[in-house]
Chains A and B, each alone.
Chain A
Amino acid sequence: MNNNIMKFKNYFFIVPGLLSLLAILALLLWGLKPGIDLIGGSFMQVSYTTERPVVEKIHEAVATVNIGEARVQPTGTTGFILRQRDLTNEEHQNLLKALGTLGTVHEDQFNSVGPTIGSELMQKAWIAIALVMISIIVFIAFAFRGVSKPIASWKYGVVAIITLLHDILIPTGLFALLGFTHGAEVDSLFIVALLTILGISINDTIVVFDRIRENLKKNEDKSRREEFEVVVSRSIMQTLTRSLNTSLTVLIVLGALYFMGPDSTRDFALTLIVGMIAGTYSSIFLASPLLVVWNNFSHRKLAKQAK
């Protein structure tokens, strides 16, 4: 139990560092494809009662109504999903009629979002992400206000934010990749998933930090001197089972949601699963080692000044 795992702290940064790098690379290379609810556009899901026409026929039908390009994707056994710019009610009805010339068609789902509403939601999303980040840094600084030795409470907040950035960077990078390979889009549910990851993964980090706080206090009470590194190591080991088990239980329910749940929340579940995994290892292998490194760094500086 008392092994100082922080001896290996430099190796810990390899996995999160590498994955973050890949995620950034994916984002730079392919970027994210915003969903229609964020930039406007329309989405139509139809199914034919008997036989599915070939995709070319659908494109031809779309061309007869003046609505520009449509991306057509087969779905289910006899259905299609069409994505195009936002449609007025008249254009919507015309498109439906045009599709109806290919066989008896039933509209399962239609969604058209005007550009104003879309861009507004996008702005709101950025503000929401920033707000969550700020509230968390304030909250952690507040929660850890009593702890100032050997490391200032606001540093816990900064480390937590770096960890959080990592946790949302990974799923975002994954969706850049999925957008490139499968045309996956990021919609408002994706942003909800990111915000939820922020809320959950801060949890893991807080539990470890909370242990560090408690162990530091114990040492102080008993006037025991112990390397910060050792305290952090012990705190991680003590909270390890809990971290893994909690993540596992959340992953169990998210897995059920991903494999069995409705189509509309499948991407949402995937984002959360990836974010949860990232959040679990980052609280162990990123957050606490960062604290130690920062502490060592400040000490070295102090030592230098003392000379």
Chain B
Amino acid sequence: MFAKRYIAVMILVVAAAIGFFVYKTEVPGGNLAFKLGLDLSGGTHLVYKADTSSINSSEINDALGALQTVIERRVNAFGVGEPVVQTQQGGALGGGEHRLIIELPGITDVDKAVAMIGATPLLEFKLIKPGFEASTTLPLAEGQTSPEANPDAFVDTGLTGKYLSRATLEFANGTAQVSGTPTVRVDFNAEGTKMFAEITTANVGKQVAIFLDGALVSSPVVQEKITDGTAIISGNFSAEEAKILVRNLNLGALPVPITLESTQTIGATLGDKALQAGVMAGIIGFIILSIFMILWYRLPGVIAVLSLVIYVAIMLALFKLIPVVLTAAGIAGLILSIGLAVDANVLIAERMKEELAEGKKAEAAIRDGFNRAWLAIRDSNIAHIIAGVILFWFGTSLIKGFALVFGMGVVVSMLSAITISRSFLLALGVNEKSKIGHFLMRSGLRK
């Protein structure tokens, strides 16, 4: 008996410590505070399509990695707390288009966010197709002031801002340009230098077109092969424009063009309201559930509620430690899992009742009840886990949040029901022969 009680007391102490940890670490902005999803904290979620059609399939991953780094730098420069930048491949079974996912907590001005991400220029070097030298631009459409580049006239060289090592502002010295005209000098990295050398070697006397964000900036004639990896871009820049371009190029020229595909933004007030409603629903649900369990199952009911409290404490601690980003769907998952966690306790309590009805002693009834209920508990939990895993795979971040919490809940509740409840019941050592013991172990409306 002493050993059983010792285990029960130890469980209580550990549970109290976990509860204390959950409570104590909940300081705003703290390292171990709950991580809230955008739908609860307010913020912006953007999905960009990354156009990888012009990139060799073997280099796509590198290019996307570079894209992610550049965007991360951009987003960080903006001063957002804990932004998320991820690349992902779409398609129902993968193999679809590449995407860039950006989450900006606290930012609700989409316009500003999109501007800040999209502002990064895409630098490309192209060659002019033979026969198109005279028609590199399209005829002016009505209302246009500057001509648009003819998309048919150019061929990609593969050389882009990805291979840039540095951009600097220079003023022309008067050989090719009017002295003092602002120009942008770009230095390529080793790979870029090699590519640029090949391009210039093969095209001496021809034009190389420089595009910025799809627009033609300049198309200088290659005078001689350039092997030192520098190029001078001389558009009709003002000094200010050139300076901004240099800064943007240095912050990162986008190695892959991106287009905005979906936007989601939620105001902080709305998120806060959702969070409070979720927490409230959880608390109220738990209280009604506890009342029901105690009234119906009496002593095993009290134990079940106690083990549920511990279950919730463990889940909350896990949310902090893993960490799990909590969304409204995730909170719904937790609330649902509380209702489901009772199931194992109910199964066990019902089984114990049957064992008692067969005239077994309380302790034997408890042990056999647990053992008999185990098969059903295991099987039904496996079914839940299957559903959880598939949901996790199916998921957008919203659904993943639910699936993760639900799956964790199933596993943790199974463990808490079969270990914690059992230890407590055994430790109490109820004597089923005594009147009070008899009353405590029964259930429902019978005496």
* A interface residue numbers (CB < 8 A to B): 37, 45, 86-89, 92-93, 106-114, 116-117, 120-121, 123-125, 127-128, 131-132, 135-136, 139, 143, 188-189, 191-192, 195-196, 198-200, 202-203, 206-207, 210, 238-239, 241-242, 245-246, 248-257, 259-265, 268-269, 272
8 Å CB interface, B296-315 against A: 296
Beyond A206-B380, A253-B289, 4 extra complex contacts between A and B, CB < 8 Å: A92-B110, A210-B375, A241-B350, A265-B332
Cβ of B402: which chain A residues have Cβ within 8 Å of it?
192
A253 touches B265 (CB 8 A): no
A128 touches B391 (CB 8 A): yes
B375 touches A188 (CB 8 A): no
Q: Which residue of B lies closest to A114 (CB)?
A: B261
Measured between C-beta atoms, what is the minimum distance from B51 to chain A in Å? 13
B289 touches A249 (CB 8 A): yes
A256 touches B335 (CB 8 A): yes
Check A123/B338 contact, CB under 8 A, given A128-B390, A132-B386, A261-B277: no
8 Å CB interface, B172-208 against A: none
* B270 interface contact, C-beta 8 A: yes
**Contact residues of A: prevailing secondary structure:** helix
Docked complex Cα distance between A250 and B277 (Å) = 18
Choose from A116, A188, A246 the contact partner of B90 (Cβ within 8 Å).
A116
Cβ of A206: which chain B residues have Cβ within 8 Å of it?
376, 379-380, 383
* B235 interface contact, C-beta 8 A: no
Cβ of A269: which chain B residues have Cβ within 8 Å of it?
332
Cβ of B110: which chain A residues have Cβ within 8 Å of it?
89, 92, 110
Cβ of B338: which chain A residues have Cβ within 8 Å of it?
253
Docked complex Cα distance between A123 and B394 (Å) = 10
A111 touches B263 (CB 8 A): yes
- 11 example contacts (A-B, Cβ-Cβ < 8 A) are as follows A114-B262, A116-B49, A124-B92, A202-B383, A239-B350, A249-B292, A249-B346, A252-B289, A256-B281, A261-B278, A262-B328
Docked complex Cα distance between A208 and B92 (Å) = 36
A256 touches B388 (CB 8 A): no
Choose from A37, A207, A245 the contact partner of B376 (Cβ within 8 Å).
A207
Choose from A109, A192, A257, A263 the contact partner of B267 (Cβ within 8 Å).
A109
* B interface residue numbers (CB < 8 A to A): 39, 47, 49, 90-93, 96-97, 108, 110-111, 114, 260-267, 269-270, 273-275, 277-278, 280-282, 284-286, 288-289, 292-293, 296, 328-329, 331-332, 335-336, 338-340, 342-343, 346-347, 350, 354, 375-376, 379-380, 382-384, 386-388, 390-391, 393-394, 396, 398-399, 402-403, 406, 444
Cβ of B444: which chain A residues have Cβ within 8 Å of it?
241
Cβ of B281: which chain A residues have Cβ within 8 Å of it?
256-257, 259-262
Check A116/B108 contact, CB under 8 A, given A250-B336, A265-B332: no
Measured between C-beta atoms, what is the minimum distance from B382 to chain A in Å? 6
Docked complex Cα distance between A108 and B39 (Å) = 11
B280 touches A260 (CB 8 A): yes
B390 touches A110 (CB 8 A): no
A195 touches B383 (CB 8 A): no
Choose from A37, A114, A253 the contact partner of B339 (Cβ within 8 Å).
A253
* Listed residue (B91, B261, B266, B402) with the most chain A CB atoms within 10 angstroms of its CB: B261
Check A89/B391 contact, CB under 8 A, given A112-B264, A253-B339, A256-B335: no
Choose from A89, A238, A264 the contact partner of B39 (Cβ within 8 Å).
A264
Check A89/B293 contact, CB under 8 A, given A132-B387, A261-B277: no
Cβ of B342: which chain A residues have Cβ within 8 Å of it?
246, 249-250
Choose from A92, A116, A264 the contact partner of B328 (Cβ within 8 Å).
A264
A139 touches B339 (CB 8 A): no
Measured between C-beta atoms, what is the minimum distance from B304 to chain A in Å? 10
Measured between C-beta atoms, what is the minimum distance from A301 to chain B in Å? 30
Measured between C-beta atoms, what is the minimum distance from B114 to chain A in Å? 5
Docked complex Cα distance between A131 and B93 (Å) = 13
Measured between C-beta atoms, what is the minimum distance from B275 to chain A in Å? 8
Docked complex Cα distance between A92 and B112 (Å) = 13
Measured between C-beta atoms, what is the minimum distance from A87 to chain B in Å? 8
B376 touches A116 (CB 8 A): no
B284 touches A260 (CB 8 A): yes
Cβ of A241: which chain B residues have Cβ within 8 Å of it?
350, 444
A196 touches B406 (CB 8 A): yes
A189 touches B329 (CB 8 A): yes
B292 touches A107 (CB 8 A): no
Choose from A114, A195, A264 the contact partner of B274 (Cβ within 8 Å).
A264
A249 touches B394 (CB 8 A): no
Q: Which 5 A-B residue pairs are closest in the complex by CB-CB distance?
A: A199-B387, A256-B285, A262-B274, A123-B92, A250-B339
Docked complex Cα distance between A109 and B329 (Å) = 17
Docked complex Cα distance between A239 and B373 (Å) = 11
Check A255/B263 contact, CB under 8 A, given A135-B386, A264-B39: no
B274 touches A263 (CB 8 A): yes
A116 touches B97 (CB 8 A): yes
Q: Which residue of A lies closest to B286 (CB)?
A: A253
Measured between C-beta atoms, what is the minimum distance from B378 to chain A in Å? 9
Measured between C-beta atoms, what is the minimum distance from B329 to chain A in Å? 6
Cβ of A257: which chain B residues have Cβ within 8 Å of it?
281, 285, 332, 335-336
Choose from B90, B93, B267, B346 the contact partner of A106 (Cβ within 8 Å).
B267
Q: Which residue of B lies closest to A243 (CB)?
A: B346
Docked complex Cα distance between A139 and B386 (Å) = 9
Measured between C-beta atoms, what is the minimum distance from A191 to chain B in Å? 8
Docked complex Cα distance between A37 and B336 (Å) = 23
Check A199/B339 contact, CB under 8 A, given A124-B394, A252-B285: no
B390 touches A135 (CB 8 A): yes
Docked complex Cα distance between A143 and B375 (Å) = 10
Cβ of A260: which chain B residues have Cβ within 8 Å of it?
277, 280-281, 284
Docked complex Cα distance between A256 and B47 (Å) = 34
Measured between C-beta atoms, what is the minimum distance from B393 to chain A in Å? 7
Docked complex Cα distance between A259 and B347 (Å) = 28
Cβ of B394: which chain A residues have Cβ within 8 Å of it?
124-125, 127-128, 191-192, 195
Cβ of B273: which chain A residues have Cβ within 8 Å of it?
262
A254 touches B339 (CB 8 A): yes
A192 touches B329 (CB 8 A): yes
Measured between C-beta atoms, what is the minimum distance from B60 to chain A in Å? 18
Cβ of A265: which chain B residues have Cβ within 8 Å of it?
278, 328-329, 331-332
Choose from B266, B388, B396, B403 the contact partner of A109 (Cβ within 8 Å).
B266
Measured between C-beta atoms, what is the minimum distance from A153 to chain B in Å? 13
Q: Which residue of B lies closest to A255 (CB)?
A: B285
A262 touches B277 (CB 8 A): yes
A108 touches B347 (CB 8 A): no
Q: Which residue of A lies closest to B269 (CB)?
A: A108
Cβ of B114: which chain A residues have Cβ within 8 Å of it?
89
Docked complex Cα distance between A192 and B328 (Å) = 13
